[in-house]
Amino acid sequence: MQRFMSTVMTSVTKRVPIPPKGVDYRGKIVLAPMVRSGELPSRLLALHYGADLVWGPETVDRSMIGTTRKVNSSLSTIDFTRLPSHGSKDPGKDQPESLIYRIYPAREGRRLIFQIGTSDPERAVQAARIVAGDVAGIDVNAGCPKPFSTSGGMGAALLQTPDKLCSILEALVKEIVPEFEIGISVKIRLLETPEKTECLVKKLCATGITGLTIHCRTTPMRPRERAIREQLRMIADICKENGVACLMNGDVENRAQAEQLIAEYGVDGAMIATAAESNSSCFRSEADGGLAPWKEVVEQYIKTCLEVENRWGNTKYLCNHLIPGKRPEYREVTTSRSYHQLCKILGFEHLESQAKEVDEKLGIFPDAENQGRRGKKNKSAVAAGGGKTKQEKKKPLSERGVQSQPAIDPSTLELPTMDQPAVAMSA
């Protein structure tokens, strides 16, 4: 009996060593990796409200390979940029670089996990090496069911090629861990049967990873379908036997519920996804105030976006999640075209001046705010040519001495060729 208890205690306390610059996922409630919802301001907002760690959005290996790491002293960030792949249409004109990934070292660096989308060990290592020195861990996405990921053999497609997935993790453990002293982890989904899931988890835990996150849904399941938690205990036990931290993901609404689920199923931590999109203060404990009013959260989010000069489209997208759909401000925000308009709509007068500055830096000039400017320009141009502006009302043809023209024969019309395409409607 004593020998048996000793064996149990050994299996329970076994742990894969955490690299010196890595992070232990045990006891952590974290922000899940989400495309668009995992950009820098969203991560900083989650940390502000108490998230222990944050995952960045899945970033495909090919998009990181070839980027240039730049220290952005004006924003205190590290930017990974690259020239557009389509090249410049004007050889004599410099093309602006595309921002692929932005990190704020002082506020998130040692709490940020970089999630990579990959289907090849060599590319995975090559891409990870670019960013590994600025993050606390590298996570492989083996759970995203979206076509943009699975079509390239990445994401959930890797669940059908477990040997390839294991080879990717083994390559990262072998190459990245010794050089950068951070851990490697993986995020997966449930397979078709508990037996298949069990087999996969055992293989993954043997690769040398420090953490495994299980999204409690199968690949075909959509977010609206209830998460399946019946296999959690089994998965957590396998991870413990191998010394790997186990996090759960799926229908976790707040910190209090996360702590309850951790205790109930024996997992080491939990991820929050959709609930954080709606209100990032879900990471806050009841003792610290619990869920904050939506307007307080939105104000903090916009302040953060202005500080790091976030892309306007991404900011507006997240605001449409943070602002309740039944609020009158929601409809107005959906039609806003600039940071300045956004702050005016929400009554954040104290942010309007900064919003104007950021709009100018980002080149945001919405039509409503530039109508007068363009009108003056048009009038000046017309005046120089001795003509009239479009705004001036034209006199009837008879008053201008213009005789009516005979009907036009359609057969005499010169139709546009393929070299003269019609103007396409904007998407």
End-to-end CA distance of the chain: 71
Catalytic option among 144, 166, 205, 319: 144
Instruction: Give strand pairing partners of 68.
Output: 81
Q: Which residues pair with 78 in a beta bridge?
A: 71, 103
Q: Are 21 and 261 in contact (CB under 8 A)?
A: no
Reply yes or no on whether 144 is catalytic: yes
Residue 327 CA to residue 316 CA, distance in Å, equals: 16
- The answer to whether the beta carbons of residues 234 and 210 sit under 8 Å apart is no
- Interior CA angle at 77 toward 76 and 81, to 5°? 140
Residue holding tokens 């790491």? 69
Say which amino acid occupies 350: H
Q: How far apart are CA 150 and CA 23, in angstroms?
A: 29
Q: In whole angstroms, how large is the CA radius of gyration of the chain?
A: 27
Q: Nearest to residue 268, comparing CAs of 31, 47, 50, 28?
A: 28
Q: What is d(CA 16, CA 185) in angstroms, rounded to the nearest whole number?
A: 12
Q: How far is CA 230 from the centre of its chain?
A: 29
Q: Which residues does residue 246 pair with via DSSP β-bridges, in sequence order?
A: 212
Between CA 137 and CA 37 the distance in angstroms is: 19
- Distance, in Å, from the CA atom of 262 to the CA atom of 269, rounded to the nearest integer, reads 6
Residue type, position 278, single letter: S
Catalytic residues: 144
